[in-house]
Homo-oligomer: A and B are copies of this chain.
């Protein structure tokens, strides 16, 4: 059982390559920028437990105090810093981490409790509102920070107090007489506890995670045999009509995936980040299932749920960018096929953190079942819905990632947010990105004379993976200009300490869905062995051809959303990249490309560009047939059948750029993915 947060250290990105450059920006710019933001906003010193004037502010998202997430903002920054310090030590960042850890230690109560809000603002009210408050969510991120800290610093300065806090949580929550039979409104601690369990092997860490997951949504929890959030609300003396801002109605427990036990949930519902974090933890439970048979035990219990909810999400509730969640009110999923593209068209949320959550879930599912469908979505999110969340300079971020801008919601980034979950989430994700590229499994024989390894290659980029056994060091290198060029040169170098030792390596290369009809490998294996979209290269092939060339055709594609979404648009993609148009390339545009008619039959010409970064633009000569003419509808509800629609104005050239690059080159914030077609 691997975690990308641990395995990433085995991957070295080749300097100057796509991801090496992005990670370098994060290391050199983003970490510092975010540290400055933590300091400027009061978060940095918050664990000193002094009063901050903003603590009196009314909540922007009732009833959650705006500073409620501060613990997690700090924790995620520490976590990201620890990953990035592994690459290159940085004294300023190191000092801040150490100081923050000291403050966190100082904030801990005698009994282990550790939370800013309930220490400063509402002392005495801890654990009285699991539904809305983010106490346990914060605890989860503190655990993840502690694990990253422990991994990098090799000391217990953060892990020790966090373990003490977890002891308190483990004794506080559960089904025993004197315990609270509750679970967090925002899942996160579950996946953190399972990661912790892997390190500690402490049964109570597994038990607590499992309790939170299994008790969640029970209609007859605790002694009262009722829904915990009902019991808890009544204990607070609140009316069920006193609605959290994200609830469209009383008892909207589906908002937090607590309307029924997870195994009974038929469709993916509610807040999309919560859903992804919860399912990631469920996948982790499956992974630690003791039974190799996936039809029994924890796997048998939870795998059908993961399959069902994943399919519902991908087929009916995802955007072309991999973004999820159409509904702003609850930052989450709408009904099946309800996927409008922008605020003035009915919605589109696609929060950065949610796409990060999809990547987490996909990675876990890939460890359970090596299937291209998971990796395709993981790659899609990475290059689009996640990468668009940060500017090229690493100092500006998005929270919501719509497919179309509007006057209300321009396509633009911000240096920080009041609820600042997304910026440090991108930081930490890029920090351990190496763990997403591939995963490995090594089996050493008892004699230690031979070892077998298998490496699943999910993503392509210029990077090297180190595999060490007791007797060998194997390096697997990829060299490629991905995502702009689909050629990948693989090289396997083995250094065996003893000449008689033997090392069997099996490589499994993902053939991306978008290249499934058009890929090559040279030299060609005698037998092409493809299973679930992965090309299996056996040890014989690897020994014979330690250098081989794998190639996926990257050419512009026109794709369309499911017809039941009612979005009569075409998307331009190329390889894993989804494209958009921006007003900066089309100064004539003034209505967010809402009425631009695209001719998907016009050839798309590739143009390599290097400003503001290397990328391939796609140019459609006279690709805009003109503008939609709606004058026939003036003053009336319907108009006579216009057949294919009426077009006005002249044809114009279109320039498509990668969606993740949007809002990096100036302009008026008008942008659209998916243009109207006839």
Contact = CB atoms under 8 A, between A and B. Distances in A.
Contacts of A249: 245
A305 B15 CA distance: 64
Interface string A238-251: 01011101001110
Contacts of A557: 640-641
Q: Assign chain A's interface to a size class.
A: 35 or more
Contact of A558 (B513, B561, B641): B641
A559 interface: yes
Interface stretch (A18-26, A27-35, A503-511, A563-571): A563-571
A447 B239 CA distance: 72
A125 interface: no
Interface stretch (A84-92, A603-611, A626-634): A626-634
A377 B676 CA distance: 30
B320 A638 contact: yes
A266 interface: no
Given A242-B242, A641-B600, A636 B594 contact: no
A564 B635 CA distance: 15
A638 B561 contact: yes
Given A63-B241, A346-B335, A560 B639 contact: yes
Interface in A335-394: 335-338, 340, 344-346, 373, 376-377, 380
A662 to B, nearest CB: 19
A633 B568 contact: no
A329 interface: yes
A563 B648 CA distance: 14
A311 interface: yes
A575 to B, nearest CB: 14
Nearest to A558: B641
A133 to B, nearest CB: 15
Nearest to A646: B563
Most chain B beta-carbon contacts within 10 A, residue among A314, A560, A635: A560
B345 A563 contact: no
Contacts of A377: 637
Given A335-B344, A373-B635, A248 B329 contact: yes
Most chain B beta-carbon contacts within 10 A, residue among A63, A245, A564, A630: A564
Given A566-B568, A594-B564, A638 B338 contact: no
A52 to B, nearest CB: 24
A559 B638 contact: yes
A304 interface: no
Interface string A637-651: 111111001000000
A531 interface: no
Contacts of A336: 344
Given A242-B242, A248-B329, A345 B566 contact: yes
A51 interface: no
Contacts of A318: 637
A634 B346 CA distance: 25
Most chain B beta-carbon contacts within 10 A, residue among A336, A633, A635: A633
A243 B32 CA distance: 43
Interface string A549-565: 00000000111111110
Contacts of A322: 637
Q: How many copies does the complex hold?
A: 2
B641 A560 contact: yes
Contacts of A676: 563
Nearest to A568: B568
A99 interface: no
A62 interface: yes
A65 to B, nearest CB: 14
A315 interface: yes
B241 A637 contact: no
A319 interface: yes
A626 to B, nearest CB: 13
A334 B318 CA distance: 23
A248 to B, nearest CB: 7
B640 A558 contact: yes
A242 B245 contact: no
Nearest to A339: B637
Contacts of A250: 62, 245
Contacts of A319: 637
Given A62-B241, A633-B315, A637-B319, A567 B566 contact: yes
Contact of A242 (B239, B335, B346, B645): B239
Most chain B beta-carbon contacts within 10 A, residue among A568, A628, A638, A642: A638
Contacts of A62: 241, 250
A88 B625 CA distance: 64
Nearest to A344: B335
A633 B558 contact: no
A630 B565 CA distance: 11
Interface string A218-252: 00000000000000000000010111010011100
25 contacts: A62-B250, A63-B241, A239-B242, A241-B242, A241-B243, A242-B242, A242-B243, A245-B250, A314-B635, A314-B637, A322-B637, A338-B346, A345-B566, A559-B638, A559-B639, A559-B640, A560-B638, A560-B639, A560-B640, A560-B642, A561-B637, A562-B633, A566-B566, A566-B567, A570-B641
Interface of A: 62-63, 239, 241-243, 245, 248-250, 311, 314-315, 318-320, 322, 329, 334-338, 340, 344-346, 373, 376-377, 380, 513, 557-564, 566-568, 570-571, 573, 594, 600, 628, 630, 633-642, 645, 676
Given A241-B243, A338-B346, A380-B637, 19 more contacts: A62-B250, A239-B242, A242-B243, A319-B637, A322-B637, A334-B346, A335-B346, A336-B344, A345-B566, A373-B635, A377-B637, A557-B641, A558-B640, A560-B641, A560-B642, A562-B630, A566-B567, A568-B568, A570-B641
4 closest residue pairs by CB, A with B:
A559-B638, A558-B641, A562-B633, A243-B243
